Amino acid sequence: MIEIGAKGIRFGFDARTGLLDGFTVEDEGHEIAPLHRAPWVGTGEVMPPGTPPHLATLGGDFFCAPFAGSEVGSPLHGWTANSPWNVVEQGGSWLRARLLRTVYGAIVSKELEVEDGHPFVYQRHVFTGGSGRIAISNHANVSLPRGGLISCSPKLAWETPPAPPEADPARGRSGLRYPERSTMPDRFPGTDGWVDLTRFPWNPRHEDVVTGIEAREHSLGWTAVTRPVEGDLFLSLRNARRLPMTVLWHSNGGRDYPPWSGRHFGCLGVEESAAAVLLSHSSEDDLSGPGALTLVQDGETEVRHAIGAIRWPSEERVKDVRIVDHAIEVCGDRGGFRHLAFRKHFLD
């Protein structure tokens, strides 16, 4: 594991699968480590034959391309999350790595960086060359063993994919209906009445995926997860016109086969995506940006994303997140407020 850090922030990089692990922020006298780690990670447990490599190290934050099973023969969450990376340059607070295989003919580079006093990891993925359109996602896994409150930038609607994650009841179960759609996240059709997607957990044992489609009126996309018991907040920031979808993966004891074996609880995947392949009721025309990344044969295309964590003892939901000068302002629904250092033009 390669350790990267700056004043008040650190993380590790696992080159086996490109995993950002051990993300920790020191804020207001507290250490905040908001990301999940599956119960089998680090135990030496042997994975069943055919298990995608990223499941052996499941947790943290990783980049998916091709995402959502959009390429025949690609492992779950794509080659970028299941192939080794070579670290080509690094300093104390940054690294640059290259995937040891191409994706759609493109060379893929990863840049991760932190800065003194900034509670964010700045992530940039660059595709050089290649051709075609590719579904992509930044996949953070938030640890919610004691529950959480989920807030997002405005959405046009929420919808489930054409089929549930586990269609065979002998393997697992879901609590949402598939495919379904709602404009109210606190009233989504479930298998047993309405479900409030703004809370976690809402079911004792389930595995579900639901996608929020960004509204067109703004460019800053954000997801904020309040952890009331821990007194902190996870933040995910993106350009909503490049990543127009937020996919939430609710993993809470809903899969019964190895390595899950009914023991994987309290994980919320926050997956900031361009992946129209997941849509069931809407079309790509409904998105605030493209539903896939278009590769340029003789040029570069890139994806930017930032994740952060702060102390948030008020236990409030987040009402708004905005960029002001060289800062991010986080506003709670009962008056909570934080002013955070941020690279103003990073998401441009």
pLDDT for 74 equals 86
Burial status of residue 298 (CB atoms within 10 A of its CB: 0-12, 13-18, 19 or more): exposed
How does 242-268 read in b/e, with b if 16+ C-beta sit within 10 Å?
bbbbbbbbbbbbbbbeebbeeebbbbb
Tokens linked to 23: 């993300």
Q: Encoding tokens for residue 263?
A: 């023991």
At 69 the pLDDT is 74
Q: What does the H/E/C string look like for 265-286? A: CCEEEEEEEECHHHCCCCCHHH
- Residues with Cβ within 8 Å of 82's Cβ and at least 6 positions away in sequence, in order, are 17, 52, 53, 54, 75, 76
Asked if 207 contacts 261 with a C-beta cutoff of 8 angstroms, the reply is no
Predicted structure pTM score: 0.97
Instruction: Please say whether the beta carbons of 197 and 203 come within 8 A.
Output: no
Q: Which residues pair with 305 in a beta bridge?
A: 123
Please provide the size of the chain in residues. 348
DSSP structural state of residue 11: E
Q: 3-state DSSP call for residue 143?
A: strand
Joined together, the tokens standing for residue 154 give 């405005």
Question: According to the model, what pLDDT value does residue 315 have?
Answer: 92
Distance CA 326, CA 337 (A): 16
**In contact, 17 and 84? CB cutoff 8 Å:** yes
d(CA 138, CA 67) in angstroms, rounded, equals: 9
- Positions in the chain short of pLDDT 70: 70
Bin 132: left if φ > 0, else alpha if -120 < ψ < 50, else beta. left
Are 306 and 237 within 8 A, CB to CB? Answer: yes
What phi and psi values does residue 191 have, to the nearest 5 degrees? -70, -15
Number of C-beta neighbours around residue 164 at 10 A: 22
The pair of three-digit structure tokens given for residue 271, joined into one six-digit string: 């997956």
Q: For residue 182, how far is the Cα from the chain centroid?
A: 22
